Amino acid sequence: MANKNNSVIGIVAKEGYEARVGMQALKRAGKCSNLNGHVHELMFCDKYNVNPSHLLRGKQAHLTKSATATVKDVIMMKGSKVVGHASSRTHPASAE
């Protein structure tokens, strides 16, 4: 019985997290066709921020202010200093 309760708690927690990320993505991008890219960016930030090594070093990931950024979607900061950046690469490559 305890195993079943733990399973249900895990499912409810996962569903709640996915709902929160979905709402944040909608708030950030509105109803657009590439909403999955915004979801991946938010999940990347969350995963980076809960990593114990990043917590101990004082690093945090933040989304850029622009919802349409193509090069730097996520910036990593230590205090007020930018120490890295990432791109989710879910957008199509620019035509050359």
Q: What is the DSSP letter of 92?
A: P
* Per-domain boundaries in the chain: 2-86
Predicted local confidence at residue 93, as pLDDT: 52
Q: By the 8 A CB rule, do 45 and 39 touch?
A: no
pTM, rounded to two decimals: 0.76
Q: By the 8 A CB rule, do 48 and 54 touch?
A: yes
Give the tokens for residue 24.
């944040």
For residues 93 and 12, which has the higher predicted lDDT (pLDDT)?
12
Q: What is the mean pLDDT of residues 59-85?
A: 86
Question: What is d(CA 53, CA 29) in angstroms, rounded to the nearest whole number?
Answer: 30
Q: By the 8 A CB rule, do 36 and 51 touch?
A: no
Q: What is the DSSP letter of 66?
A: -
pLDDT digits (tens, 9 = 90+) for 18-64: 999 999 989 988 887 778 888 888 999 999 999 999 999 999 999 88
Residue 82 predicted with pLDDT over 70: yes
